[in-house]
Chain A
Amino acid sequence: AQSVTQLGSHVSVSEGALVLLRCNYSSSVPPYLFWYVQYPNQGLQLLLKYTSAATLVKGINGFEAEFKKSETSFHLTKPSAHMSDAAEYFCAVSAGGTSYGKLTFGQGTILTVHP
Chain B
Amino acid sequence: DAGVIQSPRHEVTEMGQEVTLRCKPISGHDYLFWYRQTMMRGLELLIYFNNNVPIDDSGMPEDRFSAKMPNASFSTLKIQPSEPRDSAVYFCASSFSGVNTDTQYFGPGTRLTVL
Contacts and interface: CB of A to CB of B under 8 A. Distances in A.
B106 A94 contact: no
B101 A43 contact: no
Given A45-B106, A101-B50, A108-B43, 4 more contacts: A34-B103, A43-B4, A44-B91, A46-B105
A105 B43 contact: yes
A interface residue count range (under 10 / 10 to 19 / 20 to 34 / 35 or more):
20 to 34
Contacts of B101: 32, 49, 51, 94
Interface in A6-56: 32, 34, 36, 42-46, 49, 51
Which residue, of A43, A94, A99, A100, has the highest number of chain B Cβ atoms within 10 A?
Answer: A43
A68 interface: no
Given A100-B97, A101-B31, A102-B56, A43 B45 contact: no
Interface of B: 4, 31, 33, 42-43, 45, 48, 50, 55-56, 91, 93, 95, 97, 101-109
Contacts of A101: 31, 48, 50, 55, 95, 97, 102
A46 B97 CA distance: 16
Going nearest first, the 9 A-B pairs with the smallest beta carbon separation are: A43-B106, A94-B102, A44-B106, A101-B31, A43-B108, A51-B101, A107-B42, A105-B43, A43-B109
A43 B42 contact: no
A90 interface: yes
A95 B101 CA distance: 11
17 contacts: A34-B102, A42-B108, A43-B4, A44-B43, A44-B91, A46-B103, A51-B101, A90-B43, A94-B102, A96-B102, A100-B97, A100-B102, A101-B50, A101-B97, A103-B104, A105-B43, A105-B45
